[in-house]
Structure 1
Amino acid sequence: MEFNKEEFEKSFDEVFEQKSEEINSQLDRKILITMVGDVNCGKSSTINKLMKEDIVSVGAKPGETIHIKEIPYKENIIFVDTPGLDDVVKENTEVTLKYYKNSDVILFFLNAAGTVLSENELNNLKEIEKVSQEIIIVLNKIDAADDIPALVKYIQDHTEYKYPVTPISSRTGENIIMLQNKLLDVLEKKSKDIMFAMNLKEKASIANRWILAAGVSSAAIGASPIPGSDFIPLIGVQVGLMLKLSTLYDKPISKENAKELLIATVVGNAGKTIFRQIVKIVPGAGSIIGASVAGATTVALGYAIKYMHENNIDLQVEHLKPIYEMLLKKEKEKEKQQNCDGDDNDDNNITSV
C-alpha cells in the first residue's frame, strides 16, 4: 500500500482540523479549583507559588475564613477558598457542598507542622468525598516538619490510599511542580489541562510532560504489527503535540506551516510526490526498532519545537530541521545506550545464575 501526496495532505488536513478543534474547545471551558483547610495551612501562598503571581492575599487570621470566597484568575480559572465544614456557618453548608460537587479538583490542605489529619479534618474529608472524589491532598509546610515520608504514609493509611498526597512547601517552593503535575493529571481527564497549562508561568516541565507522553504513544504505534495501518495515528500524535506546544507558548502555527515542518523532519520526504508505507517513514515498523524510531522522531520533534519557542526562533523549516536532526541523533544514541545497558544487565543476570 502506498500513500501519495494527495492522500497524505488530505489525511493531514483532517487530523489538523480535528486536533485544532479539540484544543480550541478546551479554551472556552471554565476551571473551578476549590481549596479547603484551616487558615494556617498555606492555601493562599500555595496558589501564589503555583501560579507565580500574587493573586490571593495571604495572612488571614483565625475566624476570617468562615465564608466562601471566589478568586477569579484570568478569564476562565476560578480559585475558591472555603473553610472546613466544621467552620462553615450552618446555613452555608449546602452551598459549600455544592461548590465541592461542581469543582474540577479539590485541594485538601493539611499542615505538616501541626496535627496532621485531625479528627475534624478526617470528618471533613469524608463529607467532601460524598460529593466529589477529585481530591488532591496537599501536605504543606514540609520545611517546618520532620520525617515527611512517615507523615505521607500516615495520611495514605488513614485515607485508604484513595487520593494522591503531595508534600510541598509554599514558602520555599519545594515540590510545587509535583503539585502542578497532579493538578494536570486530574484536569487532563476532564479535557481542561491545556487551558490550565497555558496560564502557568512555568511551562518547561509541562512541555516535557507532553513530549515524553507523545513519544510513548508514538512508540506504541511504531510497534504495530501491521506497517502502514497506523500512518494516520502517528501523524495525529505528532500534529497534536505541535499544536499543544504552540498553544502552551502562545505561538500559533498555521496548518500549512505545520504540514511543511512535519514533512521536512519526521517524514523526511519534502518535495517528493510519493509517500510510501509507514515502514518507509519509520524503519522497522512492527518491531522494537520501529517503536524506538517512532518514539525518537516524535520526542526530537517536540524538543526542537520547544527549544525554538523558548528562544523566540521562528518556526520555519530552515531553522527547525538542523535542531531536529541534532536532537534525533541524541535520542537514537540514548536509545542505543539503554539497549546496551539492558543487554549488559541480562548478561550479568545470566552470569549470576
Structure 2
Amino acid sequence: MTQWSDELQRAWGNLPKGTRSEIERGLQRVPGGLKGWRELIDQAAEHLRLVAGTKRKVAIVGPANVGKSTLYNALIRPDEEPAEVSAVPGTTREVQSADAGVFAMVDTPGTDAEGKAGEIDRQQALRAARGADLVVLLLDASHGVRNPERALHQELSGHGVPMIVALNKMDLVGDEVSEVIGRAIGTLKLSPDEVVPISALHREGLEELLFAMVRKEPEILVALAEALPAFRRNLAQAVIRRGASAAGVIGFTPLPIIDFIPLIGIQVTMVLGIARVYAYRINLARARELIATFGMGALGRLVFYELSKFGGPPAWLLSAGVAAGTTAALGYAAASWFESGKKLSGAELRTLMIRTSQTTIERLKALGRRKPRKPELTDRLDEALEALSKEH
C-alpha cells in the first residue's frame, strides 16, 4: 500500500463518525442504479489514478460454480475480455484480471475441486487473494454455508486482507431470503453489513455490493465522494436536456391554452427527475408548487413577448425556442436550488430565461424559415441544448 493510502486510512479513521456516515449515506443514494454506479466510478477512476497511482485489486474467490465469472463479467468494463461462463465446474482454470474503473477485478478458479489439478486451482485462487487489496468471497445462497465454505472463510480471514461475503443466487431461495442471510451471518460470525445478498445472473444487489466494496477502501470512498457532485451535475444536465427538448417540440405546434397543460407536465416531470438526482424526496404536488414559486407561466409569456416584439424569426421557431429555453432555465434553477440551496430571484430567472431562449433560437435559425419536420427540429434542439449545458 502506498504512503498516500496509509495516510488516507489514518485520516479517514480520525474523521468524526458522523462525517464518515454522511459521506457513506450520500454514496448510498447514487441515482441510476448499477449504470449510475458505473458512471460515478468512471469519474472517480481518473482522480484515484492521479493521486494514488494505482487501482485497488479485488479478487473474487469461492467454490466452483457459485457464479464468480458471472459476477466478474457484470462488474468489469464492457470493452474488457469477459470470463467464460459455463455450468461445468472448473471452467475457469486461470486467474483473469480486467479493468472495473477504480478496481481491477480478478476472477479465480474454484477452491473446492479435488485431485492434483483441483489443488493447483485452489492455490492459484489463494495466491490471488493474498495479493489483493480486497477479497469478495462468493458463496451459493441456494445451499447455504457448509463446512468447506466456512473453512475457506477462516483461511481467507487469516490472510489479513479486507473481505466481503457475497451470497449469490438469491433468486433461487424463494421466500427464505431473511432466513438464508441470517444463517450465513450466524455461521460465519459476521455483522450484517459484511454479508451482501446478490444475484449476479440478474444483476440484482450489485449496487449494494459495490458500496460495500468502497466502504472497505477509504481512498476509493473519498474519490467517489469527490466525483459525486460532478456526476450529479452531469446527470441533472441530461434530465434538463430531455425535458427542454420535449418542451420545444410542444412549442413547435402550439395550441392556444391547451399546450400549457402538457408543457407544465413536462416541467414537473423534469423537476422530479432533478430532485431524484440530488436525492431530494418531493412529490408531484411539491414539484408543481416549486414551479409556481418561480412564476414560470408569467415569465414564459414575458420572455416570448420580449423576444417577439423586435420581429425576425417565424412564430413556430420563436415558440419552440422559448418553450425549450425557458424549460432549460427552470431546470438550471431547480438544480441550483437542490445542489446548494440557492434560489434565483425573479429578475435572475428572467435574465436566464431570455439568455437560454436566445441561444436556442439562434441555433434553430439554421433550419431557415421553412417549418421543418419534427425529427429535424428535435436534432437541432438537441444541439442547442447540448451547447447550453456546456455553459452551465
Q: TM-score range by the shorter chain?
A: 0.3 to 0.5
Instruction: State the structure with bigger RCO (CA 8 A, min sep 6), 1 or 2.
Output: 1
TM-score, normalised with respect to structure 2: 0.43
> Which one has the bigger helix percentage?
2
